[in-house]
Homo-oligomer: A and B are copies of this chain.
C-alpha cells in the first residue's frame, strides 16, 4: 500500500484543488511542515507578517478560486485573524493551516511559548471557529486524512475559510495514499436537476413578462465562483446592466449595455438611480449584498419592482424562495437567451457616460472627481485593479474599466490595509495562471499605516510590476465624514511613501510625488511610466476634506436622516 506523510497528504490535496502557492510566515511549530511544500511542486511565498499574508492569500483566492495560508500557533494565527474574518465575510475560501506543538508536548502540561501559559491548547481553535466554516486540530494520523477532507470540502461548499491545526509529529506520520484517489469536489454541486430547471423556467418567464428588466452585477454569493460567467449572460440577455461597488470589476464595462454603478445615493452616474428605482420593473440581481457600504449607506429605494435575487444556495423572486444556485443558474440562463430566444423588452439603451470633468481642475489640485475620471483613460485592458476602503472605494465607481480589466475592493468587511496585501496575492495568482499583465493598486496613506510592509511583497521579484497610487490626504478622510472633521485622532503622522517603497526592496523601483493635477496628468501619459518593467509608486498630495461627489452626497443624506430621526426622538 503506497504511503504518504500526513503533511504531504495535506499539500497534495491543495495541489489537486489548484492551490499552487502557499503564503505564510515561518514559526518554529511549523518549520518541519514547510519542508514538505516545495518538493511537492508547490510554491512557498513568505509574507512580512501574518496579516499581510492573510490578505495575500485572500487576493490569491479571489483570482485563483481558493488559497492557503500557514501560520504558527498562537501569535501567528491570531495576527492573521482580521484577514480570515474578511475572507469569511466576503466568502473567500482560504485554508488556514496552523503549526501546532507536538501531541506529546501538548500532553506534557509544561508551559510552552506561544501558549497562554495555562496549559490549554484549545483556545485558538475556538477563536478561529468563529471565523471559519470548519476547523480541525489533527491529533491522530489515522483520522487525519478524513479530517483534512472534511475541512476542505466544507471550505469549498460554503466558500468560507477553513482551519487545520497540524503538529510536526502528525505531519510526519505515514498514512495510506489511497485516500487521494477519491477527489474532493472543486466547486459547489448543482441542486436537483428538476428543481433547478423549474427555477430557471420561473426566472425566464419573470424576465419575459417584464417591460423594463435590468441586470445588476453585485458581489455577494461568493463572486469568484460565478463572476466569470457574467459577460456571457450580459451578451445573451441584451438588457441594460449595472454593477454595485462590490460587483465592480467583474463585467466588461465597455459593453454597450453598461450603465454605471448603482448604490443609492452612492450611484454613479447619478441618473442610474432613476433607471433602477423608477424605470426598471424587474431586476435580475447577481449576488445581491445589501450592506451599508454597498448601498450608499442604505439609501436605496427598491419597492416598485420585482427582484430576482440569485444567491449561492437559493433564488428568490419577489418574496418566494426557489431551489437553485447562482453559479449553475447563470450558465443555464445564458444558454436559454443565446441566439434563438426572442429579445427581452428593454429600456432605451443609454450607455455609460463619464460625466465628470476630464479637463484639469481649475485649482490644479488633484481633486477627487477629476482623479477618478482621469484614471479611466490611464488604465489598460487586462489591468488588475485593487482598490482600498476609504474615498478610493467610492471614487473607483466613477472610473470606467477598459475591456478585460478586472478587480475589486473589500467593501463589505472594509478593513483598511487590506488592498496592499491582497493585491500582491492577486498578482501572484494571475502570474501563475498566465493572465497577469499589470497590477494597479489604489490605496490611501491612512490605510498604508497598517500594512506598509506589504510593499515588500510587491517589490520582491515575483515578476509583479505594480503601479501603486497612494492618495495622501493627511489622515483618515472617510472617518472625517463620519465624525471628527478636524479631530486629532483622524490625523496621522506624515511618512515618506516613495522612500518607503524604495527602502522595502533591494530591486529597482521608481517613486513619484505629485502635487498638482497637471503633474499627474503628464505622468499618466508618459511612455516610460506606462511601459516600465519595474515597480512604481505615485504619491498624490490631495486635500484632506475632498471626497468623490457620490460620497459627499451619501453622507449628506445620512446626516439629514439622522437629524430627522433625532427630531422625532425629541418630540
Contacts and interface: CB of A to CB of B under 8 A. Distances in A.
Contacts of A502: 496, 499
Contacts of A292: 110-113
A412 interface: yes
Interface residues of A, number: 85
A245 to B, nearest CB: 11
Interface in A56-86: 74-76, 78-79, 81-82, 85-86
A298 interface: yes
Contacts of A32: 483
A181 interface: no
A514 B26 CA distance: 27
Nearest to A125: B130
Interface string A5-33: 00000000000000000000111100110
A26 B495 contact: no
A186 interface: no
Contacts of A115: 89
Nearest to A504: B495
A131 interface: yes
Contact of A51 (B74, B79, B85, B117): B79
Contacts of A491: 46
Given A35-B483, A506-B494, A85 B75 contact: yes
Contacts of A449: 48-49, 453, 456
How often does this chain occur in the complex, in copies? 2
A258 interface: no
A176 interface: no
Interface in A33-48: 34-35, 38, 44, 46, 48
Nearest to A289: B111
A429 B163 CA distance: 39
Interface stretch (A223-231, A371-379, A413-421): A413-421
Contact of A86 (B75, B127, B451, B456): B75
Given A75-B415, A482-B28, A88 B116 contact: yes
A151 B50 CA distance: 30
Contacts of A414: 75, 113-114
Contacts of A408: none
A450 interface: yes
A511 to B, nearest CB: 11
Interface in A408-439: 411-417
A289 B111 CA distance: 8
Contact of A487 (B34, B126, B415, B484): B34
A48 B504 CA distance: 17
Most chain B CB within a 10 A radius of its CB, from A32, A85, A293, A499: A85
Interface in A547-565: none
B49 A450 contact: yes
Contact of A35 (B117, B130, B487): B487
B479 A28 contact: yes
A495 B489 contact: no
A493 interface: yes
Interface in A454-468: 456, 460
B31 A291 contact: no
A111 B220 CA distance: 12
Contacts of A460: 493
A496 B503 contact: yes
A493 B476 contact: no
Contacts of A505: 493, 495
A334 interface: no
A85 B74 contact: yes
Interface in A287-312: 289-293, 298
Contact of A123 (B31, B111, B131, B493): B131
The 6 closest A-B pairs by CB, nearest first: A75-B415, A31-B483, A499-B503, A111-B291, A113-B414, A49-B450
13 contacts: A48-B492, A75-B86, A79-B81, A81-B81, A114-B415, A117-B291, A124-B130, A127-B130, A449-B456, A495-B504, A496-B503, A499-B502, A500-B500
